[in-house]
Chain A
């Protein structure tokens, strides 16, 4: 158990809909990262938050948004969903200084029909 909690574990929805994925980082971790893992694209970095502020942005679509709340949990909002958004969405957290690695949640599997 990494200590990072993601909900829901599985989500099935229709095109055009909006979903919210939630992540609770490890206790004490200030940094939260979101990654998307599609079948054919490996793990793509979406966005990073540090103590409530956006720190870095990757290949995140404009239809997607995220935030980190004062209690350090984070939410990833996906709107106007398309079939191609079907993927496994991982949240990871870490602390600095630390040993460098990111600790991953079990992921949220999104299926868009």
Chain B
């Protein structure tokens, strides 16, 4: 069974600094999707970034980028120039195929200090 592990329950970063959130996963599949979702205090689940496993290039969305290491089954999220609005719970998620369910990690709570 596929699993997703986020080993950092809490992280903090100074405003304008850079922070990296870690995620590892376990799968025997070769084709899959990986995601980072943000859950602010409003509790809405917001997609931050996605990565298709067949793509070697790391995904980037503005200040958010990932370091995808397929062989190591690692998928970390880097947030550059952190802003107060980035404070939230961040979930790493895995999806085996375009028709499968999302499997979530336990989440990392990110605090941004002014």
Contacts and interface: CB of A to CB of B under 8 A. Distances in A.
Contacts of A50: 99
Given A100-B33, A101-B47, A101-B50, A31 B99 contact: yes
B101 A58 contact: yes
A108 to B, nearest CB: 11
Contacts of A96: 98-99
Contacts, number: 54
Interface stretch (A16-24, A40-48, A71-79): A40-48
Interface in A55-111: 55-56, 58, 88, 90, 92, 96-104, 106-107, 109
Nearest to A31: B99
A106 B106 contact: no
A99 B43 CA distance: 23
Contacts of A31: 99
A15 B70 CA distance: 46
Contacts of B107: 42
Contacts of B37: 104
A42 B98 contact: no
Interface string B55-66: 000000000000
B86 interface: no
Contact of A42 (B47, B50, B106): B106
Given A88-B43, A90-B45, A107-B43, A102 B102 contact: yes
Nearest to A37: B43
Interface of B: 33, 35, 37, 42-45, 47, 50, 52, 91, 95, 98-107
